[in-house]
Amino acid sequence: MRTAAVKLLAGRDFASAALRERLVRQGFEPGLVAAALAELAAERAIDDARYARHFVAHHADRGQGPARITADLAARGVRRELIDAALEEGPDWSALARQVRVRRFGRDPPGSWAERARQARFLQYRGFSSDHIRSALGPDTPDE
């Protein structure tokens, strides 16, 4: 059973809850899975804090915001305090929102309220908060 866990970890990093779920789905006894995961955690082969930091860095590099990253990590069973700590160590989210907007829509600020709303929806879908979006879009002065 430990061998199965190590094989899975050799392919990629897992949150402990996701690894537990995967092993139980493969038919291993939940008690044995918990014991093996405790051993691996003691050896630092699995570390949810490290997993969260790497997840935040990777997904921020892909242009995703903190709300979306938080939801994805929570779905993988990472504890909220670890998520919050990883997000604190993450990038400047307002600057990232500006970079994502510029990469998608160009340097010029939105010229109309409709375009501003379209860009705001895009950034919201990517997981940025309203403060990050306002910072990325600039002043509220479209021409229309």
pLDDT at res. 139:
78
Q: Residue 73 and residue 13: Cα distance in Å, rounded?
A: 13
Q: Residue 76 and residue 81: Cα distance in Å, rounded?
A: 14
pLDDT at res. 142:
55
What the block records as the tokens of 81 is 């305090």
| 71-87 residue pLDDT tens | 999 999 999 999 999 99
**The pLDDT of residue 144 is above 90:** no
Sign of CA dihedral 33, 35, 38, 40: negative
How high does pLDDT run on average in the chain? 93
The second-level CATH assignment, the architecture, of 48-89 is: Orthogonal Bundle (1.10)
Fold entry, domain 93-137: Arc Repressor Mutant, subunit A (1.10.10)
